[in-house]
Structure 1
Amino acid sequence: MTRTKVALVGIGKIAIDQHVPALNASPDWELAATVSRKGSVPGVPAFTDFATFLAERPDVPVVSLCMPPAPRFDYAQAALLAGRHVMLEKPPGATLAEVHALTALAAAKGLGIYATWHSRMAHAVAPAKAWLKDKTIKSAHITWREDVRKWHPGQDWVFEPGGMGVFDPGINALSILTEVLPRPVHLTKAILEFPSNRQTPIAARLTFSGQVTADFDWRQEGLQTWDITVETDSGSLALRMGGNVLEIDGKAVAGESTIMGEYPALYARMAELVRTGTSDIDLAPMVHVADALTLGRREVTDAFQF
Structure 2
Amino acid sequence: MMAIPIAIVGVGKIARDQHLPTLAASNRWRLAGVVSRHADDLDVSAHPTLTALKAAVPELAAVSICTPPIGRTDVIREALELGLDVMVEKPPAATISEAERFASLARDAGRSLFLTWHSREASGVAPLSAWLNGRTINRVAIEWMEDVRVWHPGQEWIWEPGIGVFDPGINALSILTRLLGPVSMTGATLRFPANKASPIAASLAMEGGAGELVSAEFSFDQRGPQTWTMTLDTDGGQATLLDGGGRLEINGSPVDVPEGTEYGRLYDRFAELVGKGEIDADLAPFRLVTDAFLIGRREQVDAFSWSD
**What TM-score, normalized by structure 2, do the two folds share?**
0.95
Distance 1:77 1:100 in 2: 13
* Mapped pair 1:82 → 2:97: no
Deviates more, 1:42-51 or 1:241-250: 42-51
**Structure 1: where are the runs of 5+ without partners?**
none
Distance 1:90 1:38 in 2: 21
Number of the residue aligned with 1:170 = 169
Number of the residue aligned with 2:250 = 248
The Cα shift of 1:243 comes to 0.5
Number of the residue aligned with 1:223 = 225
Number of the residue aligned with 2:23 = 23
Q: Work out whether residues 237 and 250 of structure 2, in 8 Å CA contact, stay in contact via their aligned partners in 1.
A: yes
Number of the residue aligned with 1:73 = 73
Aligned counterparts, 1:122-271, within 5 A: 122-162=122-162, 164-181=163-180, 183-209=181-207, 210-255=212-257, 261-271=261-271
Which residue identity is paired with 1:255?
A: V
Which residue identity is paired with 2:60?
A: V
Q: Work out whether residues 141 and 229 of structure 1, in 8 Å CA contact, stay in contact via their aligned partners in 2.
A: yes
The Cα shift of 1:53 comes to 2.0
The Cα shift of 1:48 comes to 2.0
Deviates more, 1:121-130 or 1:246-255: 246-255
Q: Work out whether residues 45 and 53 of structure 2, in 8 Å CA contact, stay in contact via their aligned partners in 1.
A: no
Which residue identity is paired with 1:227?
A: T
Which residue identity is paired with 2:196?
A: R
Q: Work out whether residues 182 and 284 of structure 2, in 8 Å CA contact, stay in contact via their aligned partners in 1.
A: no
**Match of 1:254, SS?**
coil
Distance 1:168 1:227 in 2: 16
The Cα shift of 1:160 comes to 1.2
Q: Work out whether residues 32 and 57 of structure 2, in 8 Å CA contact, stay in contact via their aligned partners in 1.
A: no
The Cα shift of 1:185 comes to 2.2
What does the per-residue CA deviation read over 1:163-208, in whole Å, with 9 as the maximum and x for residues that have no partner? x110000000001111112x53210000000001000111000001
> Cα gap change, 1:46/1:228 in structure 2, threshold over 3 Å: closer, same or farther?
same
Percent identity reads 49
Distance 2:57 2:45 in 1: 10
Q: Work out whether residues 186 and 208 of structure 1, in 8 Å CA contact, stay in contact via their aligned partners in 2.
A: yes
What does the per-residue CA deviation read over 1:236-273, in whole Å, with 9 as the maximum and x for residues that have no partner? 010001001111111111337x9x70001111111111
**Match of 1:39, SS?**
coil
The Cα shift of 1:56 comes to 3.5
**What TM-score, normalized by structure 1, do the two folds share?**
0.95
Count of residues paired in the alignment: 302
What does the per-residue CA deviation read over 1:116-154, in whole Å, with 9 as the maximum and x for residues that have no partner? 111011101001011112111111110000010000000
Which residue identity is paired with 2:234?
A: T
Deviates more, 1:144-153 or 1:57-66: 57-66
> Cα gap change, 1:271/1:41 in structure 2, threshold over 3 Å: closer, same or farther?
farther
Distance 1:261 1:194 in 2: 33
The Cα shift of 1:161 comes to 2.3
Distance 2:41 2:84 in 1: 21
Q: Work out whether residues 38 and 48 of structure 1, in 8 Å CA contact, stay in contact via their aligned partners in 2.
A: no
Number of the residue aligned with 1:284 = 284
